[in-house]
Structure 1
């Protein structure tokens, strides 16, 4: 018994092992409840249900943050809430890319939620690796924070001046690589990622990946690309690995629930990217301020971050108010699915890419 207690109270990345296990247990329970109970059968998630489920995940994240505030102090609590707000806002851009990916592979809405939930497992592992690597770098070489800060400032300025680049999925090198080197079924098979079919050349039964599996792979690769921005950004807020990891994962969990509501009105957040660019510049500049002048009060970081994000959302909603009555997007993923026919006209079906 003493050995178990010693193991659970041992330090891992700055926190007791039981804290890490408790958080992973919460995440596992939420995923099991979501996938095994709420969405045991494939169905399209409506906007109202999406908002209700998202509110549930946000409430869990807020309660967890309140517990951090109470148990670890106001500084840890404010750092968590700042990181959570930042990751949540940055993930909105991810929604647009995910909708394009589902549209390109013509994935019906009723299969999308299950794919997104399974994607969380991969995200947990990949984000965990990236955060662990970043924590090791910062602990061993503190000057790496300056690189993070400069990168965030450069990224923010690039978004403000140049934009975010081409999001055409058909030009994605990963899509082209996998499409040429995997056995891919040209059609969906429900929510299955793999099916057994006769090989066109030999007639033998072999395993084919479905478009749903390929979409899942591309979505997780896209998440890695977004993590290149978000992980340095949250390390600029705090170097506490536990707070970095928990804020990241809580934001990602909620994103899957909020995806269908956001995808239906993503056109209403047109100007949010400029607010996010300003947040990245602020967070990057905060690193240099902390190192050269003195640590900035976490309350100021939280206030500025929330003000910029909230201002960007409100300004976007105000500027795009004329589009509020646009029926495009009704039902959850309307805008993306409505564009799928146009996308198919310029992109070959998956099964014909080999």
Structure 2
């Protein structure tokens, strides 16, 4: 009876693979919170890189499992989705860094915000991906809308000047500050505190700037998911591949954040590469129709996507290499 349940397919994939994936995610979160960060401490760049390497290795290892059990096409689709989502998650770091800076979140508490943010992301992405899968199953033409949206988003990114709107003008933030009791300063790692109300003097529930930062991080992910979910559906419509590649890419985000936040200036041209990837992923659906193909072969999608991103990262690192600014200044004299 139990074996029949484990072998039964759920959304096109054996139940044991879904359960194994969810069990691994829960174990990783428990290990992160209960072992690695049982006590608050600042995460340095070296620790961040080690943890990032661990999460990337686990994500790639899971991709190997997918390749082994579901076939080469599913394996390549997973890897393509993982690479795209990981890079989009890296782009999210720029916004998170801005949020932490705006709220002056101490480094020692940033991991707490990111941890609870990841839990929210796991739930929100499941809802968005489930809704997207239902749409694609019922209306296949939705894929063309996703593809057109990706191309338009990529073009917009290329034409954008890269300037972010000031966070203090965000309507949600302004609404929360009007409707909620907000403390002026942080209260350690706490999201909520009870303090005397400034008018009545009675104890009242206040939210701290740390809570506001958490809400803005969640909102930022929803905005980024508007790009990333159509991107992965343009690669594959398999709900298992879509969700697992998303979550494994995001799981390592909080570990990677502390290394990337210290090197944001070195990835100046990453957005250009991301824009090119979004345009490619969106346009390949239309290109396949023009060529009379069911779809562009997964190996080509993976190779082109990986090549664009590697070129973007390499060019960014070369353009921002140490000493380049000094050399440019000397050349201009």
Give 1:64's aligned residue: 62
The alpha carbon displacement at 1:195 in A equals 1.0
Contact 1:8 1:18 in 2 (8 A): yes
CA distance in 2 between counterparts of 1:86 and 1:324 reads: 29
Q: Does 1:220 align with 2:218?
A: yes
Give 1:312's aligned residue: 312
Cα–Cα, structure 1 residues 324 and 172, in superposed 2: closer, same or farther, change >3 Å? farther
- In the superposition, the TM-score normalised over structure 1's length comes to 0.88
CA distance in 1 between counterparts of 2:67 and 2:319 reads: 36
Give 2:303's aligned residue: 303
Higher mean alpha-carbon deviation, 311-320 vs 293-302, is at 293-302
What value does the CA root-mean-square deviation take over the aligned residues?
A: 1.6
- Which residue, out of 11, 18, 21, partners 1:20? 18
Cα–Cα, structure 1 residues 325 and 252, in superposed 2: closer, same or farther, change >3 Å? farther
Give 1:257's aligned residue: 255
- In the superposition, the TM-score normalised over structure 2's length comes to 0.94
Alignment: residue pair count: 324
Higher mean alpha-carbon deviation, 121-130 vs 176-185, is at 176-185
Runs (5+) with no aligned partner, structure 2: 327-333
Cα–Cα, structure 1 residues 252 and 210, in superposed 2: closer, same or farther, change >3 Å? same
Cα–Cα, structure 1 residues 182 and 6, in superposed 2: closer, same or farther, change >3 Å? farther
CA distance in 2 between counterparts of 1:5 and 1:71 reads: 17
Residues 29-44 of structure 1: pairs in structure 2 closer than 5 A: 29-44=27-42
CA distance in 2 between counterparts of 1:100 and 1:248 reads: 23
1:279-332 CA deviation, whole Å, 9 max, x = no partner? 001000111123442121100000000000000000000011136899xxxxxx
1:87-146 CA deviation, whole Å, 9 max, x = no partner? 111112210100110111110000001110111111000000000000000010000000
Cα–Cα, structure 1 residues 120 and 323, in superposed 2: closer, same or farther, change >3 Å? farther
Give 1:128's aligned residue: 126
Give 1:330's aligned residue: none
Contact 2:186 2:208 in 1 (8 A): yes
Contact 1:90 1:230 in 2 (8 A): yes
